[in-house]
Amino acid sequence: MPDSNRLDTATVRPGFDEVVTLIVKHRVKVGFEAPYEAWLRRIVGIAGQSEGHLGVDVIRGKHSGLDMFTCVLRFCSTEAMQRWLDSPQRLELVNEAAPMLADGDQTEVNPVKEFWFAPQADAGSPPPRWKQAVVTLLVILPHTLLVPLIWGPLLKLNAFLSNYVVATFLITVTIVLSVVYLFMPMATRLFASWLTADQSHPTLSEETR
């Protein structure tokens, strides 16, 4: 595997609990679509067993007349992602897929919060900001209404937990973790067709785990 899969530590600093996404783009040669999809199912399953792996989405589109597959893999840290990039299993599988790929194995890295509304597949630009704001509001508002209600009875059981700072911290942490790890990725998949409706290359997003 070429050194292009080695991260530039000057731009992506290692750290724990930073949550990063590995974006892998493959343009498949004509006639190799079926074997590639079989290969993709295999590597997604193996990646799911990698330590620090949080989930994967596959976006299928078209680019220059060929099928384009954009895989978005989420990891708990840069170190976990780099371990997967350097793993013998991945290197072997990518070498196996090389004859099926028109442009080779293309990888890039984004913080997870930046990929929520990043361009998908071969789309030229992110969704309009007002659409981003609507989806974010739909995710955040229910959390701000429901999470305090859920925590309320528990916080009243203990004087320390009922302290304003402690209670606010617990509620905020719950909202942040729920939004980052679960509901925002779900929302962007659910509204994918609407978010990209004004772009010339609509894509299909699906959960592959």
For 94-109, write each residue's pLDDT tens digit.
Answer: 999 999 999 999 988 8
Q: Which helix (H) or strand (E) element contains residue 203? A: none
Predicted confidence (pLDDT) at residue 36 exceeds the cutoff of 70 = yes
Q: Where does the pLDDT of residue 125 fall: very low under 50, low under 70, confident under 90, or very high at 90 and above? A: low
Q: Where does the pLDDT of residue 176 fall: very low under 50, low under 70, confident under 90, or very high at 90 and above? A: confident
Identify which of 117, 124, 110 has the alpha carbon closest to the alpha carbon of residue 81. 110
- What rounded mean pLDDT belongs to the chain? 78
* Among 4-18, 34-48, 184-198, the range of highest mean pLDDT: 34-48
Predicted confidence (pLDDT) at residue 16 exceeds the cutoff of 50 = no
Query: What is the structure's pLDDT at 6?
Result: 43
Query: What is the structure's pLDDT at 20?
Result: 82
Q: Which helix (H) or strand (E) element contains residue 106? A: strand 106-111
For 42-58, write each residue's pLDDT tens digit.
Answer: 999 999 899 988 888 88
Please state the rounded mean pLDDT for residues 103-121.
66
Please state the rounded mean pLDDT for residues 193-200.
62
Cα Rg of the chain, angstroms: 20
Q: Under the phi-then-psi rule, with left for phi > 0, alpha for psi from -120 to 50, and beta for the rest, what region is 73? A: beta
CA–CA dist 91, 97 (Å, integer): 10
Query: What is the structure's pLDDT at 196?
Result: 66
The CATH number assigned to the domain with range 3-115 reads 3.30.70.100
- Window from 11-15, 32-36, 121-125, 162-166 with minimum mean pLDDT: 11-15
The domain ranges of the chain are 3-115, 129-189
b/e burial code for range 136-167 (CB count within 10 A of at least 16 → b): beebeeebeeebbeeeeeebeeeeeeeeeeeb
Predicted confidence (pLDDT) at residue 68 exceeds the cutoff of 80 = yes
Predicted confidence (pLDDT) at residue 202 exceeds the cutoff of 50 = no
Predicted confidence (pLDDT) at residue 15 exceeds the cutoff of 50 = no
Predicted confidence (pLDDT) at residue 197 exceeds the cutoff of 90 = no
